[in-house]
Amino acid sequence: MSVLHIQTPLIESRALSAWLQRPVWLKLENTQPSGSFKLRGIGHACQWHVRHGATGLVSSSGGNAGLAVAYAGRKLGVPVTVVVPETASERAKELIRMEEASVIVQGAAWDQAHRYAQTLASASRPLIHPFDDPLLWEGHASLVDEVAHAGLHPDLLVCAVGGGGLLQGMFTGLDRNAWHATAVLAVETEGAASFGAALQAGHPVTLPAMKTIANSLASARVCDAVVRSALSHTVRSALVSDAQALGACQRFAHDHRILVEPACGAALAALYETPEAVGNARTVLVVVCGGVGIGQYAAQHPVAP
């Protein structure tokens, strides 16, 4: 059974390289069939479960993870039910249905949708977690494998953090490629900084509320594994404002003719707004994570000519 994700382009950003005065490379995960990096880990998990007898799949996500499960289910020929919170956009629900999945709206926020999805899951219809599953991390790590195979070995890897699935996948990839000297810059928006809070406390903490336009990063608590892994890796936490994330989306569209949602804009904003964040890194790799909210944000925040 072949993998469901594709090998995405790895390109040098001339604009960011000139801005930071060192090579900056972009891993374009926005070109995945489902539109985001999520397909790497989620596709891997869905295939594993189907190989082990699953006849259906359940997801709890109003965005990128739900769409990735829906895509995987269609390709694998099994039915998918995606439980989304009331905050899920109409466009996200439309995209999930286009992948022939059933959509159920339940709960005011993701954690409530997740609890309901758990009641629908069974041994034959497993629940695919959006970020907290070793199968996902193993799949996400293929991103690092591809970069290594291309002959690039960055000093700094930059990625956005929501629930921690992508970041834990990057840690997994760094370890299996023996990139022990590669540092990670983990970026969040100020209203969803659960990873930064966990680093400060030394353990996962649950934030009382989420207040960010970057819905894909709005996880009140990161997975336990990513906090443990951070202790054995060189990790720096960075915070950007919603306005900075949106500004980075616009600047990136101007520089590269590519639209990304604010969750990805957060990672880019750390470089556009605070070039000192790269420290002494000679070569930088940025995960351009993609996202289902691109059209919505582009309509609300058009790029100036």
Q: Does 167 share its domain with 288?
A: yes
Residue 5 lies in a domain: no
Residue 3 lies in a domain: no
Q: Does 33 share its domain with 51?
A: no
Residue 174 lies in a domain: yes
Q: Does 156 share its domain with 104?
A: no
Q: Does 156 share its domain with 287?
A: yes
pLDDT at residue 166 in the model: 97
Q: Does 145 share its domain with 79?
A: no
pLDDT at residue 305 in the model: 43
The predicted model gives 279-300 an average pLDDT of: 81
Q: Does 20 share its domain with 65?
A: no
Q: Could you give the number of structural domains in the chain? A: 2
Q: Does 167 share its domain with 259?
A: yes
Q: Does 77 share its domain with 149?
A: no
Residue 124 lies in a domain: yes
Residue 1 lies in a domain: no
133, 154, 172 — which closes off a domain?
133
Q: 31 phi and psi, to 5 degrees? A: -90, 0
pLDDT tens for each residue of 112-141 = 999 999 999 999 999 999 999 999 999 999
Q: Can you give the residue range of the structural domain that contains 90?
A: 38-133
pTM of the model: 0.94
| CATH label of the domain that carries residue 202 | 3.40.50.1100
pLDDT at residue 297 in the model: 53
Q: In terms of pLDDT, which residue wins out, 219 or 31?
A: 31
